[in-house]
Structure formats: structure tokens, C-alpha cells
Amino acid sequence: MTYLAKPKLHHPSLAKNRVGYTRRDYEGRISTLCAGCGHDSISAAIIQACWELDIEPHRVAKLSGIGCSSKTPDYFLGNSHGFNTVHGRMPSVLTGAYLANRELIYLGVSGDGDSASIGLGQFAHVMRRGVNMTYLVENNGVYGLTKGQFSATADKGSKSKKGQTNNDAPIDLVTLALVMGATFVARGFSGDKSQLVPLIRAALAHQGAAVIDILSPCIAFNNHGGSTKSYDYVREHNEAVNRLDFFPQREEITAEYGAGEVTEVRQHDGSVVRLRKLHADYDPGDRIRAMSYVQEHAARGEVVTGLLYLDSDACDLHQQLDTVEAPLNTLGAAELCPGLAALEKINASLR
């Protein structure tokens, strides 16, 4: 009955956040995905994170490519700006939108096929440019929408539902994002909301390229024995390096931890990420170490999750280009046309 509109009624007892919205104000249309798809859990985590962060829905621009994962922006933040682009081309459209208007909060949603197969070049470039965005990859190792072909993130030796073996080496998007210069790199699991929601909150507050590779099982085509992207496999091989709490600038930091080492990282906007280390040797401030750590554990068949790298001094694309602060659509003729004298000066400098 997914063609039925969701009832707009809000129960009067629903809690409101600081900007006056209930959690339901962050929902979208009824999902048409298979019941049990990991992607729906990620949509629920996005809704929770945006509600907790007191984000006004109209300040968010959500962009995606093509795939079951890329359909999901229809199922959350129904009052935000949305752009469903071409397969694998979301990053360039997001970059253009961000250059035109830096006042919006950019949320890119993609799949492993969308980002690691057809969109690999776009994924790499958007990471190295420092576009201020949260980029979520809903990674199930298959092309769910086109009925389960292996994607470029499928592990070598993993088996399809029909028993075929994947012989190609996998692309690890976390490692690629680290190599390309992303300043917030994490991995999550759709089945672990308590880890995922704070990761999304911290990524949204990060002032630079933030990416979360989220393992998100496809129950229709990749949830069997022999798959390394199934619920059972990820639950059994999940190695969380840290658990994090996220505090926006205005929030008082009160939580205390008993055992375990705790690291606090203050981000550019004043927000604080508090990491409770589960692996004492893990340092989220060391890009090179993060790469080797992820690879060492992958070789042992372990899927490392948590906040893997954070550069709290990230510099975003607008800073690098020294562009005008105001959104381009608010500029008038005077700002857009500096006059003949300025043009003469530019031409003279090029002679």
C-alpha cells in the first residue's frame, strides 16, 4: 500500500526539538524498498540524527544517484530540497550546488554501485576537493535495483545468491576516501543504530568532506552464506574501534566514562566528538595509520567500524577558492558586474 500517502496527523504528545519540530517532521514518504532492507534503517538513522541536531528541514539539500539506495531520500526529510541525479553523477551536481549556495547542509546518498562502479571517478574527486558535505554510501556489495549483480565493493571469493564466485578484487571506499583526502572518514553498519546515529551527527557538523561507508545488507540478493555483506557476516566480523558521543557547540558535556581511554576532538564549528576507544592502539588523527589498520584487519576478515579518521582543521572548497559568502542567487547586478574599469584591469593583467 505504498501508494497511500502517509497520514499527516502528529500525536500531540510527540516531543519537539529546539526548533519546534517532532521526529515525524523529518520523515518522508512510505518506503517502497523490500521489508528488512538495510537502507531503510539508514533512513531512520538520518531522521533521528537531523531531529536530534535541531536542523530545520528546509536547510538541507539531499542529493543521490540511481539505485535502491539512491531512492531513499524520498523516504526521509520530506520538507528538504532534493535532487535525484544520474547514476554515479551525484558528486558533481552536489559540488555545483554547494558552490552556488554554501548556506545549505549537503547530504549525498549513494550506493556501492553508484559510488564504486560507475561513479568511482566522481567519488574520488569530490573527496579531494574538500566539498563540505556528508556523503553516505549504503553498501550492500550488489546492484540491488537491477537484481543483484556484483558491484565493485564485493569481496573477492564472495558468492552470489545463485552460487557464482566473484573473482575481482574489491574497492574499499574507506581506504579510497582516506587516500583522496577526505577529512572525516567512518564506517558503520545499518544494523547498529547506536553507533550510526552519532556518526551521522558528527559528520553533519564536520566542515569538510565527510564520508560514511555503511554496510547495508540487501536481503533480496546478498544476505546468504558466502556473502561478506550479509547481516550475519557483518555482525560476526564487526570490529568497532571506538564508540562516540557527539555534542553540538551549545550542549554541555556531562557524560563521564569509567573504564577505557577517552579522546575528545573539537571540530571547527565548536562541536565536540568524544571517542571511547575500544582498541587502545587506535588513533583517529593519523591518516596513514588508519589506512594500514583498515587493511590489516580486512586481511583477517574483520570489518572495522567506527570513526576511522578525523581532521579537525579541515579546510573546505569555498575557503580554498576564496569565493563570495552570499548565495549566488542573492547577488545583484552591482556585485555580478564590477564595471568596465575592473574588466580592463583583468585584461591588462593577462596581456
Ligand X SMILES: Cc1ncc(C[n+]2csc(CCOP(=O)(O)OP(=O)(O)O)c2C)c(N)n1
Residues contributing to the site for ligand SF4 (CB under 6 A): 33-34, 37, 39, 68, 140, 144-145, 218-221
Nearer to ligand SF4, 82 or 144 (CB): 144
Nearer to ligand X, 140 or 242 (CB): 140
Q: Is residue 55 a contact partner of residue 237, using CB atoms and an 8 Å limit?
A: no
Name the β-bridge partners of 142. Answer: 150
| Sequence-separated (6 or more) residues with CB below 8 Å from residue 8 | none
Q: Is residue 223 a contact partner of residue 159, using CB atoms and an 8 Å limit?
A: no
Residue numbers 106-125 binding Mg ion by CB under 5 A: 111-113
Nearer to ligand SF4, 123 or 221 (CB): 221
Q: Does 213 bind Mg ion (CB under 5 A)?
A: no
The x, y and z cell numbers of residue 212, run together, are: 560514511
Q: Does 28 bind Mg ion (CB under 5 A)?
A: no
The x, y and z cell numbers of residue 345, run together, are: 584591469
Nearer to ligand X, 190 or 267 (CB): 190
Contacted entry of ligand X, ligand SF4, Mg ion, none for residue 93, CB cut-off 5 to 8 Å set by kind = none
Element (H, E) at 237: helix 231-237
Count of beta carbons in the 10 Å neighbourhood of residue 161:
16
**Shortest approach of ligand SF4 to residue 34 CB, angstroms?**
3
Q: By the criterion CB under 6 A, which residues form the site for ligand X?
A: 66-69, 87, 111-114, 118, 138, 140, 142-146, 151
**Shortest approach of ligand SF4 to residue 171 CB, angstroms?**
18
Report d(CA 230, CA 159) in Å as an integer: 11
Q: Is residue 114 a contact partner of residue 65, using CB atoms and an 8 Å limit?
A: yes
Cell 528546509 found at:
58
Name the β-bridge partners of 106. Answer: 61
Q: Does 140 bind Mg ion (CB under 5 A)?
A: yes
Nearer to ligand SF4, 55 or 68 (CB): 68
Q: Does 65 bind Mg ion (CB under 5 A)?
A: no
Nearer to ligand SF4, 111 or 248 (CB): 111
Q: Which residues of 2-30 are buried (b: 16+ CB within 10 A; e: fewer)?
A: eeeeeeeeeeeeeeebeeebbbbbbbbee
**Shortest approach of Mg ion to residue 142 CB, angstroms?**
5
**Shortest approach of ligand SF4 to residue 17 CB, angstroms?**
29
Could you list the residues that contact Mg ion (CB under 5 A)? Answer: 111-113, 140, 144
